[in-house]
Amino acid sequence: MRIAAVEAVPLTAALQETFRFGTTDRTTSPNVVVVVRTDEGHEGYGEACPVPAFTGETQSSIVDLVEGRVAPVLIGADPLARSPLLHALAGTARFAPFTAAAVDTALLDLAGRILGVPAHALLGGAFRDRVEVHGSVGWQEDPADMARTAARQAATYRTLKVYAGRGELSADLDRLAAVRAAAGPGTGLFADVNGMWAPGDLPRVLPRLKEIGITLLEQPLPPAAAAFQRDLVASHGIGVVADEAVRTAADAAQVAASRSASVVNVGHSKLGGPTAAFHAAGVAAAHGLGVMVGSVIEMGIATAMGLHLAAALPRLACPCYLMGPLKYRERITTEQIEVIDGHVAVPAGPGLGVTVDERRLHALDARRRG
């Protein structure tokens, strides 16, 4: 059996409402679905969800890279030779993690479908059949808007991640306090700052964060300043997650060496795919760090991948960020994820265990929409 075709489908996907995190405001998402087909009629799907603040990748650069440089390597190859294929593609996609993630996911889905096993089995097997997820409250100027979102989500999730880091510091903290008041004392709260605070801000913010009941702080400082996080955060008993600081498995070792975080976010999109994310998780765990599976709010394909990855990790330090499809207006998979008791089930069935709806994919095809 050989790989016969590789396609990249650019989507015009709209979010339910404008989602603001870090420096990004997203109303639509320029995702790309990668399809790898064999000469025997098997297919595997991957999804790229580029974030301009993270890399220079765009929807058209992803399509060009997949069709112009990835496809010639894959076509004619054995679809089960995943590691050799990823090795052959390493140079092509080194600085294009979102592209690499979609290709890796498509190959994993394809191999799972050919072998009749779920994707998590190809990562060594599942430790769980459902994954606890957290909701998220995007940044908004008006604290009352964030409070409303938080109150709505607190009915579904046990833990919420709240975005901070924009604007004036004390106003930012007031927004977090408004979220706490709306979510109630029983809801766990994380804050994700996307590296937008400065070292000098920490002595000011940490006592207030403690008072508000933030238990986990994600990437408070830019990666280059992350060493400043160590003592201050530990002294206030707030866990720290490294996100933007971890783009490779080697970065996870660096976090351990600098003791700049207690947990590593191993979202597979930013790490260049589930294979690299699984390695990064192994490196983090080998150094005694916790891991959690993050995301960049992807649709059904990449989110299913995240659920398989989370299933295959021995320990998760906290709830994962794997409810992205619920933030979109449209779906691309027949199955919709459902949050029950704060958990999402790991999809069952071969490969990613989700059925891509070709009709919906066609309807969202950006080339068709011109």
In the bound state with Mg ion, the residue whose beta carbon lies nearer, of 43 and 132, is: 132
In the bound state with Mg ion, the residue whose beta carbon lies nearer, of 70 and 217, is: 217
3-state secondary structure labels for all residues of 285-346: HHCCCEEECCCCCCCHHHHHHHHHHHHCCCCCCCCECCCHHHHECCCCECCCCCCECCEEEC
192: contact with Mg ion by CB under 5 A: yes
Using CA atoms, how far residue 309 sits from 268, 315, 327, in Å, is 8, 11, 21
Paired residues of 291 in beta bridges? 264
In the bound state with Mg ion, the residue whose beta carbon lies nearer, of 218 and 335, is: 218
In the bound state with Mg ion, the residue whose beta carbon lies nearer, of 85 and 266, is: 266
Which residue has the CB atom at the shortest distance from Mg ion? 243
What is the nearest approach in angstroms of Mg ion to the Cβ of residue 336? 24
Burial level of 18, CB count in 10 A (0-12/13-18/19+)? Answer: exposed
Residues 127/120, Cβ–Cβ less than 8 Å: no
What is the nearest approach in angstroms of Mg ion to the Cβ of residue 296? 8
243: contact with Mg ion by CB under 5 A: yes
Q: Which stretch binds Mg ion (CB under 5 A): 63-71, 242-250, 252-260, 334-342?
A: 242-250
What is the nearest approach in angstroms of Mg ion to the Cβ of residue 33? 24
In the bound state with Mg ion, the residue whose beta carbon lies nearer, of 36 and 271, is: 271
What is the nearest approach in angstroms of Mg ion to the Cβ of residue 192? 4
251: contact with Mg ion by CB under 5 A: no
* Phi, psi (degrees; rounded to nearest 5) at 284: -60, -50
Please state whether beta strands 343-345 and 263-265 pair in parallel, antiparallel, or not at all (unpaired): unpaired
Q: Which stretch binds Mg ion (CB under 5 A): 53-61, 166-174, 218-226, 304-312?
A: 218-226
What is the nearest approach in angstroms of Mg ion to the Cβ of residue 190? 9
What is the nearest approach in angstroms of Mg ion to the Cβ of residue 206? 19
Q: What tokens were used for 364?
A: 């969202």
Binding residues (CB under 5 A) for Mg ion: these are 192, 218, 243
